[in-house]
Amino acid sequence: MNTAFDCIPCFVRQTLNAVRLASSDTKIHALVLREVLKELSIMDLELCPPAMSMQIHRVIRRHAGNHDPYVSVKDQFNRFALALYPRLLEMVQTSNNPFETAVRLAIAGNIIDFGVNTTIDQSVVENTISATMSEPLAGDLNTLEETALSAANILYLGDNTGEIVFDKLLVTRLPMDRVTFAVRGRPIINDATMKDAVMTGMTELVPVVENGSDAPGTILEQCSDAFRKVFDAADLVIAKGQGNYETLSGSSKKIFFLLKAKCPVVADHIGYDVGASIITHSNPS
């Protein structure tokens, strides 16, 4: 999926949010803003949004001298989601349809995305959980469940910290002995890395692999050979969030995308409204 012109103002806003997390020095804020504006002015607009975002956040981290601006946000949301986990697990376990409830909650957790919105707080997450349990779920839940139950090798592409705890609910409803979970290779925005998979206990459930990249999505050519082998070997990919959708929506592989549509560009691309809870797939066949 190509970057839309409408993504550009959003990237500039993201830059400001990120550099304010990375440094309290307003001189650094001005420097980074200028550098990112310069980068954007010459950037290839045919790239997908996560490819541009990756480049922008590299500029931010380099100039701010902070390799992980979102570290405290990530820690905070992992802890918050872990505290919620027993209640969420009970919701799944007592549900008439545990698979559907686990999918809905995994999608609700996708709201914890600091690329799109830095005003996320615990009340936003709580409200999103309530809304996502009662609102329509767009897409074909039954096909997802049937495909997952019959798949030999499932690769689950994680997205954000905090959200990774919600993903545990769904992972435990899949045939776990056939699931591998993937995280980003290096810190990027508030995306989950191996450190978060360990902290949240995902590594205790299933094998977790790093994708080798610092893109906020899955740009296969940026990923490690080891990750690409895992990706190629999977006969089903479950991919969480906008970044994975933006980078893999054109794939010919069998991929189910589970996400909250959080920006108009992605929502329009899928054909739903902003705020929708969506299951969609790359390859209907």
> For residues 45 and 198, which CB has a smaller minimum distance to its own copies in the complex?
45
Please state, in angstroms and rounded to a whole number, the distance separating the CA atoms of residues 254 and 174.
Answer: 16
Nearest distance, CB of residue 17 and its own copies, angstroms: 9
> For residues 42 and 285, which CB has a smaller minimum distance to its own copies in the complex?
42
Residue written as token pair 């990249």: 213
Q: Which residues bind its own copies (CB under 8 A)?
A: 5-6, 8-10, 12-13, 16, 26, 29-30, 33-35, 37-38, 40-42, 45
> For residues 59 and 157, which CB has a smaller minimum distance to its own copies in the complex?
59
Nearest distance, CB of residue 52 and its own copies, angstroms: 12
Nearest distance, CB of residue 263 and its own copies, angstroms: 13
> For residues 30 and 198, which CB has a smaller minimum distance to its own copies in the complex?
30
Nearest distance, CB of residue 26 and its own copies, angstroms: 8
> For residues 26 and 93, which CB has a smaller minimum distance to its own copies in the complex?
26
Nearest distance, CB of residue 174 and its own copies, angstroms: 40
> For residues 59 and 236, which CB has a smaller minimum distance to its own copies in the complex?
59
Q: Angle 71-93/122-134 helices, nearest 10 degrees? A: 30
> For residues 15 and 249, which CB has a smaller minimum distance to its own copies in the complex?
15
Nearest distance, CB of residue 100 and its own copies, angstroms: 36
Nearest distance, CB of residue 19 and its own copies, angstroms: 9
